[in-house]
Every structure is written in C-alpha cells, then in structure tokens.
Amino acid sequence: MKFKTRLLVTFLIILILPPILTGIAFFVIGIFLIRGPIEPASFKYDMVAKLPNEVFHDHIVARTMFFYLFLAIILILFLLGITLTQWISRGVFTPISRLNLAMQNIAEGNFDYMLSNDNRGEIGELYHNYEDMRLRLKESIGEKMETENQNRELVSNISHDLKTPITAIKGYVEGIIDGVADTPEKMDKYIRTIYNKANDMDRLINELTFYTGIDTNRIPYNFCKINIADYFGDCIEEVGLDLESKNIRLNYSNLASPEAIIIADPEQLKRVVNNIVGNSVKYIDRSKKECEIDIRILDELDSIRIEIEDNGRGIPARDLGQIFERFYRSDASRNSASGGSGIGLSIVKKIVEDHGGYIWANSREDEGTCMNIVFRKFLNATE
C-alpha cells in the first residue's frame, strides 16, 4: 500500500472514530436514563414520583456507566493507536531501516547485498531503484577494475616491447662508436637496423596515443572522398617497400571499378592497413619457403571489400572470435619475439566501425589468416 494511502486511512480513522464512540456512549447513557421513549409529562411524573434514594441510585449507575464507557473509549483509542503505529512502522519505517542498512553496505563497498522487493507503492519503487543502482554500481566498478588491469597490462606490454628496440639501438650505436662497423656495408646495416627499431618504437607510441583517444572518444577523423584505385596504389607502394626489406612478398590486385569511391579518413584507413599488415608480419611463419601477403580489392555492388591475407601460422579456432578484443593475444603470440601491445586489432575494429563498415577474420592453423574489411561505396560518385 502506498504511503499516502496509509496516512489517509490513519487520518480518517483518527478523525471519525472518536466522535462515533462518543456518540455511542451518550446514546447508551441516554437510553439508560430515559428507559425507553416516554412522553415528557409522564417522564416528569415518574421523576416526581420516584423516591430520593431511587433517583440517587440512577445517577450513580449513570455515572458508573459513563465512567466505564469512557475507559472503554480510551482503551479502544489506545489499542487503535498502537495498531496504526505498528501498521505504519511495518509499512514505512522498517523498510526504510532495511534500505539504510543496504546503503551502508554500498558505502562499505559490498555490492552483493540485495533487497527482496516484496513491497508495493513508494517503498517498492525505492527498493527497485536501489537494486538498479546497486547493479549499475557493481557493473561500473567491475568495468573500472577491468580497465585498470588492462591499462596495467598495456603499460607492461609496451614497456617490454620498447625495451627490446631500445636495447638493440644501444647495441648498434655502441658498435658504431667502438668501430665494429668498419666497412660501408656494416655501417649501412647498422643504420638500417637502428632506423627500423626506431620505427617500431614510434609505432608502439602511436598505438598508445591512439588507444587513449579511443577511451575518451576523441579520435580525430577527417572524412573525405577517396578513390580506391588511386589510394591503394600509393599505399601498396609504401607497404611493399617495407615488406621487401623484410623478405616478404606482396601480391596486390584491384578488381574494383576505377571510379569506385568511399568516404573515409585517409590517415586512419592507412592505420588500418598498416596494423593488419604489421600483425601479419609479426606472426609470419618464417619456416615456410616463401612468405607472402596478398591484398585484394573487391567490388561488391554497393560496397568495397578489402582482403588482406597471409600464409602465416594462422589463428586457432578457439581464439578467432576474440582477436578484436583489447589486449587479447593468442597463446601462439605470447612470446618476447612477437611482442605487441595487444591493442592493434581492437584499434582496427574501432576505426572500421566508426567508418560505418565491418571486419571479420578467416583463419586456418599453419595455413594463414585472411582479414576481410567492408566499406560502403559512395553511390553518387558519378554525379
């Protein structure tokens, strides 16, 4: 029952019951004194005819009856007051006390304290709001703890991955200083290695910066019309040079229309390609005779599909559904040689989805992995 209804019922009982009981008391006393309906003359005659002792006796009885009726009214009102107090206490103060205890548990960090919602009205709504708040706080605290753990893992991963190129750079620089690189060929090799290691460090720092932007939803996008053929022609040239230095063959084919256009951010789209290619290079199977990466552009009526396929180690089926999660790295990649922050593919997924596209992966162990990216085509490109 609602609290307002309880107050209204209590008010009506307190307002109506005392006059009713008082009226009943006077009615009973009046009936006793009059002894039934009689004419006024007869009543006067009877009163005169009565003996003084009888009149006195009637007054004593009337006063005694009035006294007992008064006590009965007081007792009834007292019992009624106790009943109403317990009724209000049981319906209002007891639930509030339970709610107060629940809030103390929340303040102490215990988000598992539940309130059974068997109440109705305002108290029931209050209990429902408490449960909703408790579940939201529990979920929020859980997410916060998970985020803190992920941030610690990110710092640990990047610290470890930065340490490797820094150590290598120091070693090669010391070799140059000590004169170990005493031929032009060795000097060229040392400088190229230092340059590559510096690029690895730059990539890791960029990933960390971009990850911070993801968490705050402050990723800078500069969308514009991009001709697929022209854009990937330039992009593949740059990627090909990097892969060539790592003895990895790049195969590129564009089956899309020369006029095909998408709306995208050129810089972020380049990040997508570089992250996926970098991931393929990281987990390439060097035991194979020839390491290859294929990039294919396919025209699918109202969309453009980009396939980036490698012949690396592949991804186990149990891990395939989780590779786009933040900080997730399959067992095969948990080694110092591969390294990685574990956020590269999550960044890719975020960028693709922000472009209105979607991404998925097909993979077979020991055969390779194919990343499929779909972007909506700009259909008014010919106008």
pLDDT tens series, the chain, 383 aa: 565 666 666 666 766 776 776 677 666 666 655 554 444 444 444 444 444 555 555 567 666 766 676 777 777 777 777 777 777 666 676 777 778 888 888 888 888 888 776 666 667 777 788 888 888 888 888 878 877 776 777 677 667 777 778 888 898 898 888 888 888 888 888 898 888 788 878 877 777 777 666 666 667 788 999 999 999 988 888 888 888 878 888 999 999 888 899 999 998 899 899 889 988 888 887 777 788 999 999 998 889 999 999 988 888 888 888 888 766 655 444 444 444 556 778 888 989 999 999 999 998 888 889 999 999 998 764 44
Question: Of 240, 235, 241, whose CA–CA distance to 271 is shortest?
Answer: 235
Question: What are the domain boundaries of the chain?
Answer: 3-113, 150-215, 224-376
CATH match for 224-376 among 3.40.50.360, 3.40.50.980, 3.40.50.620, 3.30.565.10: 3.30.565.10
* Topology of the domain covering 150-215: Helix Hairpins (1.10.287)
Cα 157-158-161 angle, rounded to 5 deg:
90
151 phi, psi to nearest 5 deg: -65, -40
Measured CA to CA, the distance from residue 47 to residue 322 in angstroms comes to: 106
Rounded CA gap, 206 and 193, in Å?
Answer: 20
